[in-house]
Structure 1
Amino acid sequence: MTRLRRWLSDPLPQFLLLGALLLGVQALWPRTPGATAATRIVVPAAQRLELEQRFREASGRLPDATELDALAQRWIDDEVLVREALALRLHESDPIVRRELQQKLRFLLEDTHPIDEPTEADLQQWLDQHAERYGEPARMSFEQVFISRAQPAGISVEQRLAALNVALLHDAPDLDALSDPLPGGTRWLRQSQADLQRHFGSAFAKVVSEQPIGAWSTPITSALGLHRVRVIERQPWRPASLDTVRRQVLIDCRQARREQANRRALDALRARYDVVYQAGDAS
């Protein structure tokens, strides 16, 4: 509701909506001599009070009669412009105006189609159905030795890898001494699959996730260079309790209900229309 009030405070949406409603009324209004619904402009008392309030908020005092009349005249000018623009069907060709009208109606649909507040049982059911979204992801800890693609003159990557194969046979190799500099170092703790993809790419993450614990991998290629990896620990995925993720579950459950309600409301509106797809130009 707050978002709708902010949107309604903008003069353009106000006048576009009012003009559209008035044109709709005009189509149903009986034809009589003289003024019609399209040419009659009524300044409601509520509108004059709103103009007074806006003036008071801006200036700290109420407007006098002359100032209030000037405000009313400006409102009438704007109303005339909106009606003329709608009469010329300018809203049909202006994408900005069309988006404003679409957004406005979406807000109105939300206000006229409220959703039920999820109960405790609803929240638990939502969590059970989307457990993978909220649980603690599987994590792994590993050591690695990194070989950069850029090696000093006279030393090839293949030579470095051959020497590394021998060094890793020792019981306690000095990984920091064997590795080229790498942000994060040689020991990586509690990394998720998403962490590995972010740091080293999806191919690296896939190989490491399948690597047996305690065994050094064959060289794994990343955008940075080559890696020899030894997984030292794996922690499985753990489901979350509702108490720990209640706020996010509530947000997501409400959002899903809102989207479903909006979809039903929009489907009801679409049912009023016959949609025809025109064939393309065959020439």
Structure 2
Amino acid sequence: MSEHDQSSRSVVRGPDRIESRRRDRRTTRQWFGQWLRHPFVHFVLIGASLFAASELWSPPEPERPPVQREPIVISAEQIGVMEEDFVRRWGMAATPEQMSALIAQTLEEEMLYREARVLALDFQDGSVHRRLVEKMRAVGDRPGRAPEELVREARALGLDDDIVIRRLLIEKMRILLAQDPSAPPLTDADLQDYLDRHRERYLQPAELTFSHLFLDESVQGADLENAARATLARARALPPADAVALSDPFLLGLRFQAYSRPRITARFGTAFAEQVFALEPGVWSDPIASPYGVHLVLIEEKRDPRLPELAAVEQQLLEAVGTERATQRLAHGLARLRERYAIRVEGRDDLSTPGVELAAQR
């Protein structure tokens, strides 16, 4: 192709390219204009603008001031009421130790109640709402009014300072302090540790498995003792399985497996149980009397007291360890709460409870 032809072709293509680019720009502007007019884009841009304005021009939010807790004061008058209530209930005056326990309980409940209020544990509580609605309806007839409206009015009137609501909030606060949602699940090692520390609670008693030959006076006659001696001699000469045939019929059976001392006592009496537990395994015993008659006893197995297998008491241990740890968490939580309050007990110098003594000295 000649230089003239290439120049002519470039002259022809130039205007087409320019027009094509113009069309592309118009299409882009149209698409962008439609996108900007979309409501979602408006929402995002407005939100971003407000956020930027709040960050750049709004003053920093001040730190929330700590909750101011009023001191807990147990007055001499309150203590006098406690003493009168104790006498009315028990018919005698309380000792200093008993009064210390009562004062400590009062302090603890007041502290729990106040903290429950700080945490708004009564908010949206169905039991609290029902109680307030009942109180408002008891005050006067209010037909057609919504329960929520009655609850708001009851709070405005101070009806939420109620003994039933107080007790409910105290218990809710105790439950809250005893919980730890982040606590790891209990392991077999935890359960075994508790089992070892409280072995006396779970220790299984000594047990005997034994057979016996029963000699009934109504069958053997008046000379029961000689009949028992003769039967013993024959039994010791036979294999145990064959010797059982020498027994008179016995309603409760001739073999007892894994019987503890209390179970044997319940069946045969205390004297019989004591003598049987003193026997050695493998030999028919001398005649032993019971309320039924005379017995020749063969101890087959004697098991000493022992701890059960973990799996046998797993559910009991889970409940026990859970209760123990909840009690510990509650105690720690109460100790932390005591640090937030100034506590004063008036008119008592004979307090013996450690926590109350410290409170009385503040």
TM-score (norm 2): 0.40
More helix per residue? 2
Instruction: Choose 1 or 2 for highest CA Rg.
Output: 2
Higher relative contact order (CA 8 A, sep 6+): 2
